[in-house]
Amino acid sequence: MIVAGCDVGSLSAEAVIMRNGSIISSEIIRVRPRPEQSATEVMDKALSEAGLTYQDIEHCVSTGYGRERIPFANGNISEISCHGKGAQWLIPSVRTVIDVGGQDCKVIRIDESGKLVNFVMNDKCAAGTGRFLELMAKVLRVGIEDLGPQALGSEKPVPITNMCSIFAESEVLHHIYEGKDQTDIAAGINHAMAERVQSLVNRVGIKKDICITGGVAKNIGVVRDLEEMLAVSAEKLSVDPQIVGAIGASLFAKEALSNQNR
Amino acid sequence: MIIAGCDFGTLAAKVVLMRDGAIVSSEVSRIRAVPEQVAKDLLDRALSKAGLSSGDVDFSISTGWGRKRVPFANMDISELPCLAKGAQWLIPSVRTVIDVGGQNSRTLSINEAGKVVDYNSNDKCAAGTGRFLELVAEALELRLEDLASLAFQSKNPAKISSQCCVFAESEVITLVNEGQELVDIVAGAHDSIVRRLASIAGMIGIAEDVVMTGGCAKNERLVEGMENHLKVEMKPLAVDPQLVGAIGAALFAEGKLVEG
């Protein structure tokens, strides 16, 4: 039984292909101008990696911001449900999922069965989303993937006080003009990012175990700061944290297929 | 008697030199270095334009976000009184100043004496500031100064729903990808900033006469949008609207000298 999940977000798109309940292929790309293009491109890649074609997929569920525009999907499910589902499948003990994506941040509480209990989401302001880190990395002239490792050497992070990403941008610029240490600025950026996420987490409350998903989970500086602020340690995922939504979607595809065949 | 006013903003710094109550020189520059250096270079440029040297300046006052970092200033004053003072000197009948700068938007109510009696500002979010227009220009690969004339060509402005500048930038790119007309997108961006500005202004009463200041007041489409939205006519300024704060600072400097 081959099923697929496709998560088309605002900045990245992910595809996961599962055979008999295990992942056989997954891909992540930066989004193309249109969701249809992003979905097709990322799924083409995942299929070719697995040596399969679209005909081999028995059921496909799409999720994410572009989920209603995916030509090859048989159905679509909200990203909140998919992240909950994916995280719970990966780590059954998880009750709180913190998903920090490109243009949103969600805190999702789930029960033992992976069902949604409560959630909060920020999709109105770029503070506390991946876009914030992207903008800051650009100002610092470092790759976004370097922000985490670079910050680890800092002993006194530079405080970033502005909530607004645009204001923070000029704040960082001024720190650069002042000749502040790049490592300390990077650490300040990660800390600010973690603070924004923490304030969202506090609105639903935290229940252990927790895991962090989405692209920002790859930034070790943010993860470490957030763990410290919340006084918990996040469970380690065995897969790329960015594909959790697509995994959830493929699990929903599997369920849909089982129901059909019943 | 030569006096100087320096308005050190978040994105741009301005210097105005006055002699006997008239502006003799002014300079505006984007901030791309430490404040002290930017301010000093700016003053030097304004002085050389007027054929003066730094020794000729009798008194200087700084204002704006970076006012504590202007090395040549004898004292500093916060930007609201300076904006009010400058606007009232330029247009004595003015009672409301809508100042839209690089990262600040504020509306000031002022009395006959040019004193601030009420104000409201955005201080947490860049929506409704010059940065928003800059980001839109960057995303569309246009020049900031061309935005207004493009927007005037639109008959059917696009809807931009994100308030956050960062998300609005992505929204603009999505609209381009969906094949919306460029002029409609640009006009939509103007309407979005007008809505935000009007909501800041709406928190305090708008009494006439009204004037718009700050770099964004150079954008005629934005000014017209505000006029239509608030149903008032904006009084035109005889000087670059970006200089009003620096003019106010210079006027305070003049007052200090006269007082002795």
pLDDT tens across B64-106, in order?
A: 999 999 999 999 999 999 999 999 999 999 999 999 999 989 9
Q: What is the DSSP letter of B153?
A: T
A21-29 average pLDDT score: 97
Q: Per-residue pLDDT tens for B101-152?
A: 999 899 999 999 899 999 999 878 999 899 999 999 999 999 999 999 999 9
CA-nearest of B234, B96, B103, B178 to B188 is B178
A19-23 average pLDDT score: 95
> Which CATH fold would you assign to the domain A1-91+238-262?
Nucleotidyltransferase; domain 5 (3.30.420)
Say yes or no to pLDDT of A38 above 90.
Answer: yes
DSSP codes, B197-237: HHHHHHTS---SSEEEESGGGG-HHHHHHHHHHHT--BPPP
Say yes or no to pLDDT of A34 above 90.
Answer: no
Structure-token pair, residue A158: 């530079």
Strand B57-63 to B22-30 pairing: unpaired
Round to whole Å and give the CA distance between B191 and B211.
19
Residue A50, phi then psi, degrees to nearest 5: -90, -5
Share of chain A above pLDDT 70, in %: 100
Say yes or no to pLDDT of A262 above 80.
Answer: no
Does the distance separating the beta carbons of A124 and B167 come in below 8 Å? yes
Domain with CATH 3.30.420.40 in chain A: 1-91+238-262, 93-236
**Does residue B197 contact residue B99 with C-beta atoms inside 8 Å?**
no
Which residues in A lie closer than 8 A to residue B125 (C-beta atoms)?
125, 163-164, 167
Which residues in A lie closer than 8 A to residue B12 (C-beta atoms)?
none
A159-181 average pLDDT score: 93
- Residue B71 has a pLDDT of 96
Per-residue pLDDT band for A200 (boundaries 50, 70, 90) equals: very high
A37-55 average pLDDT score: 97
- Residue B73 has a pLDDT of 97
Round to whole Å and give the CA distance between B218 and B227.
14
Round to whole Å and give the CA distance between A72 and A17.
13
CATH code for the part of the protein at A93-236: 3.30.420.40
Local structure of A139: helix, strand or coil: helix
Say yes or no to pLDDT of A75 above 90.
Answer: yes
Q: Nearest residue on chain B to A175, judged by CA atoms?
A: B34
A140-151 average pLDDT score: 91
Q: Per-residue pLDDT tens for A82-125?
A: 999 999 999 999 999 999 998 999 999 999 888 899 999 998 99
Q: What is the DSSP letter of B111?
A: -
Per-residue pLDDT band for B15 (boundaries 50, 70, 90) equals: very high
Q: Nearest residue on chain A to B10, judged by CA atoms?
A: A170
* Average pLDDT for chain B: 94
Per-residue pLDDT band for A138 (boundaries 50, 70, 90) equals: very high
Does the distance separating the beta carbons of B124 and A126 come in below 8 Å? no
Q: Per-residue pLDDT tens for B31-52?
A: 989 999 999 999 999 999 999 9
- Residue B258 has a pLDDT of 82
Q: Set out the domains of chain B in order of their start, with CATH numbers.
A: 1-91+242-260 (3.30.420.40), 93-236 (3.30.420.40)
Per-residue pLDDT band for B178 (boundaries 50, 70, 90) equals: confident
Round to whole Å and give the CA distance between B27 and B226.
27
Residue type for position B172 = V
Per-residue pLDDT band for B260 (boundaries 50, 70, 90) equals: low
Q: Per-residue pLDDT tens for B213-247?
A: 999 999 999 999 999 999 999 999 999 999 999 99
Say yes or no to pLDDT of A33 above 90.
Answer: no
Residue of B33, B125, B177 with shortest CB distance to A164: B125
Per-residue pLDDT band for B257 (boundaries 50, 70, 90) equals: confident
B contact set with A (CB within 8 A): 10-11, 32-35, 103, 124-126, 129, 131, 135, 162-167, 170, 173, 177-178
Give the sign of the dihedral formed by CA B215, CA B216, CA B221, CA B227: negative
